[in-house]
Chains A and B, each alone.
Chain A
Amino acid sequence: SALAMSSASTTPPSVDKVDGFSRKSVRKAKQKRSQSSSQFRSQGKPIELTPLPLLKDVSAQEQPELFLKKLQQCCAVFDFMDTLSDLKMKEYKRSTLNELVDYVTVSRGYLTEQAYPEVVKMVSYNIFRTLPPSDSNEFDPEEDEPTLEASWPHLQLVYEFFIRFLESQEFQPSIAKKYIDQKFVLQLLELFDSEDPRERDYLKTVLHRIYGKFLGLRAFIRKQINNIFLRFVYETEHFNGVAELLEILGSIINGFALPLKAEHKQFLVKVLIPLHTVRSLSLFHAQLAYCIVQFLEKDPALTEPVIRGLLKFWPKTCSQKEVMYLGELEEILDVIEPTQFVKIQEPLFKQISKCVSSPHFQVAERALYYWNNEYIMSLIEENSNVILPIMFTSLYRISKEHWNPAIVALVYNVLKAFMEMNSTLFDELTSTYKSDRQREKKKEKEREELWKRLEDLELKRSLQSDGIIPT
């Protein structure tokens, strides 16, 4: 055969990450900016491909056969980390791929039934591979350059070809579904962990097309994305393609039929909300917030569980994340229905009150900006008798104590707005401010005394029972 396959077993492996591989020291060693599939060993054997005539140079009857042959040739995978090997053949494959891309775009009648398995095979041989160890554990999108895929000159054309194939007018999902199956999709999803943003971008389009054309795979795709996210949140905190997957989900959610299935609601509450807890939230927060808002626009009744979820996972120490949460909340409030707002306003404004009094001025500022939002203001105004008492203590204290003059100024405006909204309640709260604080202090003291008494009791008992009571 003219095909000297360099790596015979190209059944593409899965690429999950597992705890225990985050040894930073090993990762740091890699200085290289590009990486390649982890399957190449120093094989040394050169790859020989026999040049074929151009498709346009043969008769229409001969074209399908030649098309298949070219697909088979393109199954040969080259080692791009070795920049000197197989130069001529690499160039030949590149031009062949280019030709194939053009061919599927413009030709008619080329897609015979025999072509489907060959196309899928060629794509699989090229794109499915074990991704190498990554050093992106410390990846900082603002500082670091992403590691790029070395074989991109070929890989890009393969993706390009595959997308044109999927989008081709002659493409028939009913035939293709024999080859583009669950296993294929699983391997495709694993590639989303690629560090090369160019590859993830292509993958996004590919998966989107597959989701659109293969109805039978939709539930499976959603479930696997589910699994990827759950592992990302609860096991590894590492997966490069979260933003891309969320982007696809955004449009999937958009297309959900009403009423929403329990499965979809579960996905929202048990997967999307916990995604907010991940350290690297900033890398995909925009896409995540978009998905959340999509859900709420579909079904406003989900507002309460969503907001309660966000409040549960509210960042304790990371101010940057807090600012992101506040931004997302505002997006949610922009679309909230007044009936939903009433259900959630108490816990919500208790949190906002904490944010407003954050010593970090960006957090305080972001929260205070809510009062510039006309729709939110109208909701606050309608419910000022509930919200004002919650907010008042913080606002009053900040107006006296906050270190940042800009925050103090903003707070004055907010207080002024409240005063105009509900002057009776405002005056009442101002006059009882001191006594309320005293009452709180008294309660605090009572708590301390209670615990002191309990501890005395414990001590007494543990003496009595000769230390059998665990402490």
Chain B
Amino acid sequence: MRPLDEKETTLVFDKLYKILGNNLQKVVMENPSHEGPDQNPGHYCFRLQKNRVYYVSESLVKRATNIKREKLVSMGTQIGKFTKGDKFHLTIQGLNLLAAHAKHKVWLKPTSEMSFLYGNSVLKGGLGRITENIQVNDGVVVYSMADVPLGFGVAAKSTQDCRKMDPNGIVVHHHADIGEYLRMEDEL
């Protein structure tokens, strides 16, 4: 386990900024953490372990140092991983964190929930609600109408264009969804 170096940090923060926007500061610096046996809330930090990036409370990090590198499997929340080509992708395990601080949201109709959970992208016909001021290539978190976070992706069209689209056009490209816990448990 080691902290992220400069390059890695920029990659990670870029991706996070896409979804969180200005909330990134809140998440990285000011989020109070109640984990750990200490009385006062600490802060969170990012750690890299076996190409996966974890968002962990500092008190946990301190106590995980005596576990050998080969034996440490996971800490706190995993938010993403680095591919072999040194690109960073956000993964579904970070959904709770992202959904709590997301800037752009999309709500799906009940009929198209299952389609998204199978890994398909969101079509205009399945769209229930959409927040304003989404631009193309913005990170978007996808919810069901009951406000259950289902996954996240990247906007294919801005909010204005969405209104004029035909029902079969793609609105949000799929990146990750909670169905992966069942479909791809081995690859997580």
Are A and B a genuine interacting pair, yes or no? no
List residues of A whose CB falls within 8 A of some B CB.
none
